Structure 1
Amino acid sequence: MTAARRGLLIILSSPSGAGKSTLAKRLMAWDDTLRFSVSATTRAPREGEEEGREYFFRSRDAFEAMVADGDMLEHAEVFGNFYGSPKAPVEDAINSGRDVLFDVDWQGGQQVRNSALGKHVLSIFILPPSIVELERRLVSRGQDSIEVIEDRMRKSRDEISHWPEYDYVLVNDDLDATEAKLKTIVTSERMRISQQPNLVETVRTLNKEFDERP
């Protein structure tokens, strides 16, 4: 049986500190059918990590074969290990009418948009209200050293420059208001023509009724 709608590949991107992770958590709390895309990696599992929960753990040869066969929606090398998003579980999810959330940078988002599933992508970029506020948020988290914060701030300028590549851009000056806008966007985009596989049959039935009128 065909699902009532196809799922979306929801890409959320932002510079570090703009509120992307918090918004992603709120979005998943709002709709518990939403799932994060589970990445594949060539790094070894850490204590407590399980196959298919935190990551799909693959050898370097197996990972490279998946890339060569077109079985990765996006991939990148980070500190000597490969990370990427396998296509098959995402494809299964959207065909079942479930949305998949991607927490990727602009490069990963670009790869997903250019993939075989690109027509199902909804991409949203989160901007901070100001650079001063961005730095304040990074400092107030208390997670990083001054050196790491400075590195994140340097990278944020390049990340922000890619905002025109996204379907929607939200300025996160008020978390609750931004959350509401995000929910509105997702709700609307779920009704996109490309996400409604039964529309063709519905229109065909309507035309048949026209033909059968006396």
Structure 2
Amino acid sequence: MMMRDLHDEELRALLAFRQRYGRCWKAALLVRWSTGVDTYEPGSSHLRHLRNIGGPRWLIRLPAVTLDDAARRFAGIVDPALVAIFMANATGFARSAAGSVKIAHASAAHSLAIAIELGLKAFLMKAGYADDWNRVHIRHDLEKALALAMEAGLSGLPPELPDLIAILSPAYGRHQIDALFRGGASPFDVTDASLCVDRLLVAIHAQIA
């Protein structure tokens, strides 16, 4: 059975342990796992859970790049001005979409996808995710951005948002939103989608204020 992806809390616990014990941190953690004194370490519940579901073999094989990448991601320094710019632009694209929902469905859908991306990235930056990391690792993947934002605590989301994102994200990432509406097709009600994105941005505004 393959080990699942690590949650942020687990990555933070491992990073903190590595910082405390240096180059031989894996050996130090294996000793603590085997003697039970890992319970005295900060983040002990996460370390113990990783022992139970991963075990020594997983720890030994854990690539250094996994923690290095997480460290770069967590190094994001919150820039209120940049967060505000992202949110202002998200709101602007959402308004643009609302103005064109009845005359240009594909254009409106593209604006909604941009609004979702910018809004979720604004929340992630406020939560400490570095903009550079977001740009490299999330890119235009709306589903990944939503999952990370929810893991970081984003709540109060419109219930229809995951379904909307599941439709938009693959086409948005390949710059093919126009294809969703080719021949008069419409994979979702664009007016309803516009209202959904408005509610998403309201939720984000409330939680990053």
Structure showing the higher helix proportion among its residues: 2
For the superposition of Structure 1 and Structure 2, which TM-score range results when normalised by the shorter chain? under 0.3
Structure with greater contact order relative to length (CA < 8 Å, sep ≥ 6)? 1
TM-score normalised to structure 2 length: 0.22
